[in-house]
Structure 1
Amino acid sequence: MKGRIALILVVCAAWGCGGSLKEQRREGVANFDAAKASFDRGNYLDAIPDFKAFIEQFPGTDRTDDALYYLGESYIHEKDYALASAQFDRLLRDFPTSPFQADALFELARCDDLQSRPAPLDQTETERALTRYNQFADQYPSHARITEARARIQALRDRLAEKRLRTARLYFKLRQDAAAAIYLRRLLSDYPDSKWTAEASLLLAKVLARQGKKVEAVQTLKKLIASGPDGELRRKADEALRSLQASEAPR
């Protein structure tokens, strides 16, 4: 047993217990051109220590912002998004006139995006990525990556809308209709263009009907049907509307 533990400690020490073996073994050389050549070849673990050494030795040159940007990109390729974020954040903060400003802001948003979680989980990174993508879209509407940014904005908005819908479903299941209605109304107000709005409207109509607010439930269903939902949602909306209207008809 002791021999096995000793072997683990030796392996751990060799790997640095927190970084790759290759990066831990090699000292960086403060040579931007060599670092960039490694980057261009896709040798990111070679590029990283050299970019770091260059930034440390030359913190304020006209190539430091370049080094920060490519260091951040290298970390992205190695899936170390937290360290990548730190480089882009420093570039944005310390080099406000850098030609890499726009791309650094986009990549900072992308780092948050890549760390974001599915709708059932915490959405802190999603919200931060959305804020930064929106900032990018506002500041650089003609940038080459604006289409990609807008697509990610829509995808992240859909995820936040889904989060609210899931919460509303839970409250509905627990028969906490007031809370369910709050989440559904907020979803419809904040994310009217989301792919989840039709389903949210249908659930809101069910909540309202169960609360005895049948007139408002009917109005909600009619508005939903007028919006042209497809397939199963349309069938369910029609069925719910017929049921409500039948219950209101004089006997």
Structure 2
Amino acid sequence: MFKKIEFLGFIAVLVIFTSSCSDYQKALKSEDVKIKYDMAESLYNEGKYTKANRLFEQIMPKYAGKPQGERVVYMYADAAYKDEDYYLAAYQFERFATSYPRSQKAQEAAFYSAKSSYMLSPKYSIDQTDTYEALDKLQNFINNYPDSEWLPEANEMVQELTLKIERKELEIAKNYSKTFHYKASIKSIDNFLVDYPGSELKEEALYVRLNASYELAINSYEYLVKDRLLQAQEAYQELIEDYPNTQFSEEATEINESIEKELSKRS
């Protein structure tokens, strides 16, 4: 008896599913915009965003300039975001904010356009073009909506993305040292310290500069060694003055002892 009930239940679900799919296919092929709209909205409300957007794509041009157009464009952008299609979401939310600047949803659209771009930001070791674009959008949002309820989240995303850019720059400097391009490493760190004076990576940057400065000195022609050792010693002093209890204390002390030893040979 129970097996029969289970079987009938399965058949009922299958019929409903088949009917639903059939209705969706009919809507896709229909020439009636209202049928497409109703089906798209229904699918959107059910969380079936990929299917909904196939229909929204078809009907958006038909609703351009009409009262329903605002709702269609918003649902299309929101469905893309919830479907994790962030490239599409970023573009469509931005389009919405530009097309409907007086809409009650304009601020929300501007935020989610920026957040979609944030979601596209890759790990720091990869090209950061998307990260810079996200930062630009987030900063524009912060400037345009300083009292927004989304301001704290926007600021957090800016901080996270900025740190990612800083890490990228610092790793470039470190890689210069690893490939024995010490001058380039030092120059990169100098630029880093100017561009990001308050970075939480500053301590590490100062240590990288110290190490690169020392390596440059001891691998120089003899007539350059003393001056470059003195520059390395200055780099050590800056690290210790800014960070008396630096996490790089052991390594930095060892480098400084080597600097003093090399200088004593040339006094």
| TM-score, L = length of structure 1 | 0.77
1:14 alignment partner in structure 2: none
Q: In terms of mean alpha carbon deviation, does 222-231 or 98-107 score higher? A: 222-231
Give the direction of change, closer, same or farther, for the CA distance of 1:58–1:227 in structure 2 (3 Å limit): same
2:182 alignment partner in structure 1: 177
| SS of residue paired to 1:225 | helix
| SS of residue paired to 1:223 | helix
Match of 1:138 among 143, 148, 153: 143
Deviation, structure 1 residue 143: 0.8
Q: Distance in 1 between matches of 2:236 and 2:67?
A: 61
2:238 is equivalent to residue 233 of structure 1: no
User: Aligned letter for 1:210?
Assistant: E
Give the direction of change, closer, same or farther, for the CA distance of 1:46–1:221 in structure 2 (3 Å limit): same
2:159 is equivalent to residue 154 of structure 1: yes
Q: Distance in 1 between matches of 2:232 and 2:194?
A: 17
1:74 alignment partner in structure 2: 79
Match of 1:127 among 132, 144, 147: 132
Query: 1:49-60 maps to which residues of 2 (within 5 A)?
Result: 49-60=54-65
Q: Distance in 2 between matches of 1:226 and 1:22?
A: 73
Q: Distance in 2 between matches of 1:188 and 1:40?
A: 50
Identity of aligned residues (%): 24
Q: Distance in 2 between matches of 1:242 and 1:165?
A: 25
Match of 1:203 among 208, 223, 233: 208
- Matched-pair contact (CA < 8 Å) for 1:92–1:105: yes
- Matched-pair contact (CA < 8 Å) for 2:24–2:39: no
Deviation, structure 1 residue 220: 3.2
| SS of residue paired to 2:111 | helix
Q: Deviations over 1:162-189 (max 9, x none)?
A: 1112211111111111211222122222
Structure 1's consecutive aligned runs of 4 or more residues displaced over 6 angstroms after TM superposition are 21-24, 31-34
- Matched-pair contact (CA < 8 Å) for 1:65–1:95: yes
| SS of residue paired to 1:232 | coil
Q: Distance in 2 between matches of 1:74 and 1:62?
A: 20
User: Aligned letter for 2:233?
Assistant: V
Max Rg structure: 2
Question: Aligned Cα RMSD in Å?
Answer: 3.1
Q: How many residues align?
A: 231
Give the direction of change, closer, same or farther, for the CA distance of 1:234–1:144 in structure 2 (3 Å limit): farther
User: Aligned letter for 1:224?
Assistant: L
Give the direction of change, closer, same or farther, for the CA distance of 1:197–1:60 in structure 2 (3 Å limit): same
Q: Distance in 2 between matches of 1:129 and 1:94?
A: 20
User: Aligned letter for 1:92?
Assistant: A
Match of 2:101 among 80, 96, 100: 96
Task: Mark the runs of 5 or more structure 1 residues left unpaired by the alignment.
Answer: 1-20
- Matched-pair contact (CA < 8 Å) for 2:77–2:89: yes
Structure richer in helix, relative to its length: 2
Give the direction of change, closer, same or farther, for the CA distance of 1:142–1:248 in structure 2 (3 Å limit): farther
Q: In terms of mean alpha carbon deviation, does 150-159 or 53-62 score higher? A: 53-62
Q: Distance in 1 between matches of 2:248 and 2:67?
A: 58
Deviation, structure 1 residue 120: 1.1
